[in-house]
Amino acid sequence: MFKKILPLLLVASLFLTASSSVQALNTTALQISNMEIDIWPDYDQPSTLVIYHISFASLTNFPAKVSFTIPASAGDPYSVAMKDLDGLLYDLEYSVVSDGNWNRIEFISSTPDIQLEFYDPIKQAADGSYNYSLRWISDYPIADLKMVVQKPKYATTMTIQPDFGPGVVSQDDGLTYFTTDVGSLNQGDSINVSLSYLKANDLLSASILPVHAINPLPQNTSLWQTIIGLFKPVWENRSLLISSGLLFAGILLLFLGFWLSIRKKSLRMETVAEVATDNPPTKKINTSETLEVYCHVCGKRARPGDLYCRTCGSKLIQR
């Protein structure tokens, strides 16, 4: 009986897992809790590196299908990645949909922390100044938006519109950063940022930066704290827990059915062996090896076991 319903249970388990995943991917109420847009002209290429650092508000809505727009002048993005539970960035597969002056980047992420990078061309004016402008449109409601402009290492003067305030020199790389807190935005709100600077050479900022570890080892962190930090996002992701539980149940049912099948086969073989022991095979007489007896009176051949001739009734002489 169990063997007959096992396939149905497995199909139901897989169906529920798929339904849970589809439901997560169809989530439309995504909101960004905080986002940072970095604008780095002449950083490691003779163009402007733009980086979106995105953190969605709810972990339980993921995995989800996400899309962001970038200027069509940038072409395809340089990188689309998600930050996994271990804190590292992993590249994601994406598709590009052209929409006039914009390219829409569509992808599926399993975590709410996303990083998107692209390079946008810089224009050089007749007076030798470098100019770049970014028109950005919010794809989702944002609780807090921050924008950061990095001044090229060899730029002598730099102006930003709107005003980002005085720059601050970073102790890590020695470069000057201008930061503005935009605050909350609704979906569809737009921001325009324009940069202009003078530079006496074609050197890039990254050519003079010191080398640092991308992910330095944590200091004074116990093993228990590390384990909690790894598994805390898993427990908070309800859809991931449901999918994992259903998948585990399906695998468990599969192994249980396999074990019962082997056990049933073993019991059947033991039963056959016991029947063979209780009923030993009877020894058959090979009639071809028995001697033929003929009546000494009428000469008629007798059958095995006869004592008298079936024709004349004379007593047979056994030889």
Tell me which DSSP letter residue 315 carries: B
Q: What is the C-alpha to C-alpha distance for residues 228 and 177, in angstroms, rounded to an integer?
A: 35
- Is domain 31-206 in CATH 2.60.40, yes or no? yes
Q: What is the DSSP string of 20-88?
A: HHHHHHT-----EEEEEEEEEETSSSSSEEEEEEEEES-STT-SEEEEEEEEGGG-S-SEEEEE-TTS-
Burial call 115-127: b when 16+ CB within 10 Å, e when fewer: bbbbbbebeeeee
| Helical pair 238-278 and 2-25, crossing angle rounded to 10 deg | 170
- pLDDT at position 26 is 43
**Residue carrying structure tokens 């847009």:** 37
- pLDDT at position 211 is 53
Helix (H, G, I), strand (E, B) or coil at 176: strand
Beta pairing class for 79-83 and 155-161: unpaired
Print pLDDT tens along the chain (319 aa): 545 555 555 545 554 554 444 444 544 589 999 999 999 999 999 999 999 999 999 888 899 999 999 999 999 999 999 999 888 999 999 999 999 999 999 999 999 999 999 999 999 998 889 999 999 999 999 999 999 999 999 999 999 999 999 999 999 999 999 999 999 999 999 999 999 999 989 899 998 665 555 455 555 666 777 777 666 665 656 666 677 778 888 898 888 888 888 888 887 777 766 666 666 655 555 545 556 787 878 878 878 877 788 888 777 777 6
The residue extents of the domains of the chain are: 31-206
